[in-house]
Copies of this chain bind each other. A is one copy, B any other.
Amino acid sequence: MIVSASEQVRAEAPSFTEVVRGRHSVRSYDKSVRLSHEEIKEILAEAALAPSSSNMQPWRFLVIETEELKAKLQPIANNQSQVSEAAAVIVVLGDREGYLKANEIYEETMKQGFMPEDIAKSFAERSIALYGSLPQERLDRIVYIDGGLVSQQLMLVARAHGYDTVPMGGYDEALLKEAFNISDRYLPVMLIALGKAAKPGRPTTRLPIEDLAFFNEMPAK
């Protein structure tokens, strides 16, 4: 089959709508399809363009992709078969000490010419003082929300790359941390299976928008 250049571009550049409407949670994967480290890093780097509180980017990704480690993870994740079938399972983590990278982050912002040096320095200092003084529960909440932001972008980016995903909250957190040497510095946000779909996801429904969106005042009850 001859494919024209424009069709090639088309295939490489799905529309936003196609990606958002085409994303469904997929639980059955083609076990023969693996992703290279380069491609996984591309997907994660694009996911990490998501915004975060003060741009602290507290997300970290533990990519589990060997057969041995996926087999180790499966019983920890309610024995869900996608854990071993998917090309990789990404453990999305929130780094509770992520804000300590503020100097590094703002130094780069300054180097790129996006911010004068004095402002960058003052932003970095203020961020470290602010996040360092927050009660742990408040800091953890920020890390979980930022973890949600990056996870959604990750699932969409994967779909744009021609892959599918399923987010999983059903796992034993203590066993996960023990099995993969994840210290208390990191909060597991979710697991995301990533791979080539073998079967399409089961379609789901959504609540009517009238149940979700309120204009200017909350509903009576």
Known: A16-B14, A114-B204, A213-B41. A152 touches B160 (CB 8 A): no
Report the separation of the CA atoms of residues A98 and B153 in the bound assembly, to the nearest whole angstrom: 23
Contact: B112 with A61, CB < 8 Å? no
Report the separation of the CA atoms of residues A45 and B45 in the bound assembly, to the nearest whole angstrom: 27
Q: How many subunits of this chain does the assembly comprise?
A: 2
Contact: B48 with A206, CB < 8 Å? yes
Contact: A57 with B218, CB < 8 Å? no
Q: Which of A51, A144, A190 has the most CB of B within 10 A?
A: A51
Residues of A within 8 A of B (CB-CB), count = 82
- Which A residues fall within an 8 A CB radius of B? 13-21, 23, 25, 37, 40-41, 44-46, 48-51, 53, 55, 57, 59-66, 69, 101, 104-105, 108-109, 112, 114-115, 141-142, 144-153, 155-157, 160, 166-167, 169, 180-183, 186, 189-190, 202-207, 209, 211-218
